Amino acid sequence: MLREFIALSLYYFLFFALIGDYVIFMPKMYSVYFTPAQIGILFSMLPIARFLTPFLFFKLTINKKIFLSALTFSIFASFLLINKNFYLISFAFFLIGACFSVIFPYIETIAVEKLKENYGRARVYGSLGFMLFGIIFSYFKINFIYIFIILMICTNITALYFLEDKYVKKENRPINFFIAWKFWFALILMQISFGGFYNFFTIYNLNHNIPKEINGWLWAIGVIAEILIFLIQHKFIKKYPPLFWIKISIFLTSIRWLMLYLFAGNIILIALSQLLHAFSFAIFHTSAMLYLFGIYKNKTLAQQFYAGIGYGFAAFLGSVISGILYGENLYLYESLIAMAGFLIML
């Protein structure tokens, strides 16, 4: 148990440091060579691949060969990012997304199976990795593509720990979405509502006279809330079934976006709204994983679709829709979208 906890914690730390590089620094690196429209296409490749890949596993099973192939091809694809060819980089991001759709849900399944309600105590290292990478490397002027490659290699070496026979399971049962259709529908609406936050939170605050430096702290408050709840959620989350926490989290997410709409420019109240990230992400994510783990036999495929639908398909839609809706009423619309997900769960 201790060995698994250490291996999982290290994997999460490295993987989300890698994601931090991808989200925070790499778009800026490529902006030197490509237009904003091309940047948008490049960084849509990974979530699209995460959405499409799980459909292959209606017939396939993740085994040692597939898992090792995903580790190998993701490293190969990361080296392709060094070139300046738009189509080759697009292919590389798509291939990385497909590999992540195999590797990450598989390890998430192991984490839930081994740690149960203590999952958050390992997952918190991912939040720490993301936050520390963003803070520390913001002071360095380096080529973040090379850092991405190094982190990919280190992350995948850590993932090799889970290549042992005792972790590789023969699961080939299909997924029936209808037995939990309300959850899947609510998940899509929940993640669509995040589009306005990820794409426009900083811009929205700047337009309401909140200084750039304060915006950095507002982002940090959300991550800190996420970290703290991951550390303590094992003490209370098992007192109620996962669906209870899923409903509460979606409802509070709707309230969070409503606060951004009603109190635009109010630093204190926006900071308070950021504390709700503890529910919007941490509690929701853990509860969703526990819920899927309990109702589906093919647990790995369930996690693949959770990541693909929620953080692939819905994230892509959320990004597009938030661009269409952007304006003074953006977060009112996002609040209504999240509230629709809550009402469906009822």
Confidence of residue 169 (pLDDT cuts 50, 70, 90): low
Report the percent of the chain where pLDDT is more than 90.
64
Residue 138's pLDDT is what? 79
* Over residues 261-268, mean pLDDT: 96
- What pLDDT is recorded for position 102? 92
DSSP codes, 201-247: HHHHHHHTT--HHHHHHHHHHHHHHHHHHHHHGGGTGGGS-HHHHHH
Give the residue-averaged pLDDT of 305-309.
93
Domains 2-163 and 177-345 share a fold: yes
Query: How much is the pLDDT for 85?
Result: 95
Domain positions in the chain: 2-163, 177-345
pLDDT of residue 320: 87
**What's the mean pLDDT in 291-295?**
93
pLDDT given at position 35 = 87
Mean pLDDT in residue range 226-253: 95
Q: Is the pLDDT of residue 60 over 80?
A: no
The stretch 263-283 carries a mean pLDDT of: 96
> Which one is predicted more confidently, 221 or 140?
221
Average pLDDT taken over every residue of the chain: 91
Is it the case that residue 282 has pLDDT exceeding 80?
A: yes
Residues in CB range of 13: below 8 A, 6 or more apart = 125, 126, 128, 129
Question: pLDDT at residue 158 above 90?
Answer: yes
pLDDT attached to residue 165 = 57
Q: What is the model's pLDDT at position 292?
A: 94
Least confident of 7-11, 15-19, 188-192, 211-215: 211-215
Residues of the chain with pLDDT > 70: what percent?
Answer: 97
- What is the CA angle 183-131-223, rounded to 5? 45
Which pLDDT score, from 0 to 100, does residue 56 have? 87
Q: Mean pLDDT throughout 221-226?
A: 92
Confidence of residue 41 (pLDDT cuts 50, 70, 90): confident
Exposed e or buried b per residue across 165-196, where buried means at least 16 C-beta atoms within 10 angstroms of its C-beta: eebbbebeeebeeeebeebbbbbbbbbbbbbb
- Residue 188 CB partners (closer than 8 Å, separation 6+): 309, 310, 313, 314, 317, 341
| pLDDT band at residue 172 under the 50/70/90 scheme | low
Q: Does domain 177-345 sit in CATH 1.20.1250.20?
A: yes
Phi, psi of 173 (to 5 degrees): -75, 145
Q: Taking 90 as the threshold, does the pLDDT of residue 166 lie above it?
A: no
**13 burial class (0-12, 13-18, 19+ CB within 10 angstroms)?**
buried
Q: pLDDT at residue 170 above 60?
A: no
More confident call, 255 vs 133: 255
The verdict on domain 2-163 having CATH code 1.20.1250.20 is yes
d(CA 191, CA 257): 13
pLDDT number for residue 168:
58
pTM, full prediction: 0.85
The pLDDT of residue 173 is 67
pLDDT range class, residue 2, cuts 50, 70, 90: confident
Q: Does pLDDT of 303 surpass 80? A: yes
Determine the average pLDDT of the residues in 28-36.
85
Q: pLDDT band for position 1 (50/70/90)?
A: confident
Residue 286 is predicted with a pLDDT of 94
